[in-house]
Chain A
Amino acid sequence: MERLLYLIHPESDGSLSTRNLEGLSAAKSAAQELEAQLQIGVWGDQIRPILDNLAGISPAPVLIVEDPAFKDGRFASDAAAMTALCRKAEPTLVFAASSPRIMRALAAVALRMKGAVDTHITDIDTSSGHLRIHRWYYRQRMQAEQNRQERPWFLVLESGIAPALQVEKGQVETVAVSCALTPKEMRTAVEGKQLPKGDSQTIKPDAEMLFVAGAGWTKKQSDGQIHADVAEKLILDFLHKSGASLGSTKSLVDLKGEGQAVLNFMTHLNQVGQTGSTPRHDKGIATCCHGEEPHVVGWRFIGERRAINLDANCGWAQGKADVLYVADAFQVLDEINRLLSE
């Protein structure tokens, strides 16, 4: 019989993330279908707010490692805490929702537990009575269904893997697990966070819409001139009024290193596609993008998609967008901004 351990750390504000609610939902379903025992392990500084949301998920007590030393995301302490939880639970399967803390340390935990690890899991299939997973390869270019015989098997789940679990408030039984850190595991101190530079926060993972700016914004326009300053104003104005998150193609980000006209607020962090991020938003609008496949994968997980481009054959759009407007994005965005101001 499989024994499934689900690992959780609190967010920086102490809350339980939506991704974890989705991951818990997937874990609960998988445990039921595999007739596995589900147990939850939580580590961090202040974990009571998390525990209050875990009632009714599993009859097994929640394993906890609670200490101020585990407040911040640090490889050595996170790996030590997760290893302690795994040694206590002796699981055959370990699930965790993707986060920088999990991604930084879970593979090392798998190695310490003599197990195997797979990450970026987008779907779990237990219909055959055995666990199979789906994940992407070559940066969202192709998808595989796979499984392993090795145990314990550690899986890092992507957001959206299942509908979020409905929280049931209440008391849960807990078992404290001891985890003492060595001086070697405390060589790194987390000093805080650095917020995005610039006047405008352009990356918003929780935004409903993704706005993708392509290299066309900084190319010569119909009057033979480059209008990067106008493009900057239009895009920032749109982001401010719509609350959209900003993505860009690699070619636009790279222009900065090539000494060409640039959008000053754009950084590598905005880059979507094969060498950037693959954000998840309900809606997306692509403007002035050209259509190379590695860039197009940047909006693989966008729900409804529209594009504005002077090129009717734009690869961002044909077969990938729901609607393509063949128009000048400068003019259209200016008018959209005017309408959004009304």
Chain B
Amino acid sequence: MSVFHIVVCAGVVPDPLQSLVPADDPAKPALKNELMLPHVLDPWAEHALYEAAHLAKTRDGSKIWVISLGPKAKVQQVMMKTAQKAPFQLIAVDGTSSGFSDSFAAAEVLAQTINSIEEINKEQLLLFGGWESASRASGTTLQLVGEMLDIADQFQGVDELSVLPDGKLRILERLEGGEHQISVCTGPPAVLGWATGNLPEPPNNPQIGMVNMRQMMPALQKAQVADLSQPTVYHSVELPKQKRETQVVRDKPVQEIAREIVEWMRLR
């Protein structure tokens, strides 16, 4: 049976339910009160972690490392919840989680971090993460990490991974219009940038959380500081100005509303 060494790259992002407003200096873009905002694990990376946990559970000897690049205090806060979801070893890297940081610089840090984990056998490596982040959303960071690690098999927008009896990996990647591309890869190493996958969020397991937390605090204390370079020149960062004048229609009979909508639908 195949044994996998699964590395999940999972950053933290401001909670999407918060109001996100750019800071005043467009030359140094950031979010207003960024460090005051509550953070969550990047949603697509979170799915990647759940898929990793599901895979590792069925493969004895497999192990998961979660590499989280973000402000140490925010990573610690997020891990209080995430640690209860699945067994993994955290490797924290202390740096910005800003969407305006450069994906090349972030990828370099992540690749160096993975290379520094002596326990990982590259022939068994599955590099997981979200196909895009909820901050920069460029869809490039994980791909660059894979390329820097010389991994020739990459899949993005993954919704399903199954291990075939001969050890090959069968992968479903999102195309468009609800279609998926089916690929079969001879095995690891491979990069899988996850979309939502098919698994629900696992329930909290306090016992797993306690085991995880024992090694998380030392990992957070040991977090290396990453200074991400920023070659992009920003000229403006602003909220969309478009605000529509909404006509509110009350007390109109259902039949009239329906007729109005159908007429509008048929207008070319």
- B-contacting residues of A (Cβ < 8 Å)? 72-76, 79, 100, 103-105, 107-108, 111-112, 116-120, 132, 136-139, 141-150, 184-185, 187-196, 201-206, 209, 242, 256-258, 267-269, 271, 274-275, 283, 285, 292-294, 300, 304-306, 308, 312, 317-328, 331-332, 335-336, 338-340
Q: Is the CB of A321 within 8 A of B238?
A: no
**A189–B184 CB distance below 8 A:** yes
With A and B bound together, what is the CA distance between A26 and B56 in angstroms? 46
B231, A150: Cβ atoms closer than 8 Å = yes
Instruction: Check A312–B240 contact: CB distance below 8 A.
Output: no
Cβ-defined contact, B148 with A111, below 8 A: yes
* Number of chain B residues close to chain A: CB under 8 A: 85
- Is B254 an interface position by the 8 A CB rule? yes
Known contacts: A111-B104, A294-B17, A306-B264. The answer to whether A103 contacts B139 by CB under 8 A is yes
B204 at the interface (CB under 8 A from A): no
Q: Are B176 and A144 in contact (CB under 8 A)?
A: no
Which among B20, B143, B235 is the interface contact of A141 at CB below 8 angstroms?
B20
Q: Would you call B239 and A141 a contact (CB within 8 A)?
A: yes
Q: Closest Cβ of chain B: how far from A239's Cβ, in Å? A: 12
A149 to B134, CA, bound (A): 26
Chain B residues 197 to 241 lying within 8 A of chain A, measured CB to CB, are 197-198, 200-201, 231-240
Complex partner residue of A104 from B155, B232, B245, CB under 8 angstroms: B155
Please, how many angstroms separate the alpha-carbon atoms of A203 and B153 in the complex?
28
- CB contacts (< 8 Å) of B231 on chain A: these are 116, 148-150
Q: Which residue of A lies closest to B233 (CB)?
A: A147
Min Cβ gap B203→A in Å is 11
Contact status A108-B147, CB under 8 Å = yes
Nearest CB in chain B to that of A294: its residue: B16
* A-B residue pairs, 10 tightest by C-beta: A257-B200, A196-B178, A335-B258, A268-B196, A107-B140, A203-B178, A75-B154, A108-B147, A294-B16, A194-B180
Nearest opposing residue in chain B for A154, CB measure: B140
- Neighbouring A residues of B195 by C-beta, 8 Å: 268
Q: Are A142 and B16 in contact (CB under 8 A)?
A: no
10 contacts across the A-B interface (CB closer than 8 A):
A100-B181, A107-B147, A138-B31, A145-B236, A146-B233, A193-B182, A205-B177, A206-B177, A308-B257, A332-B254
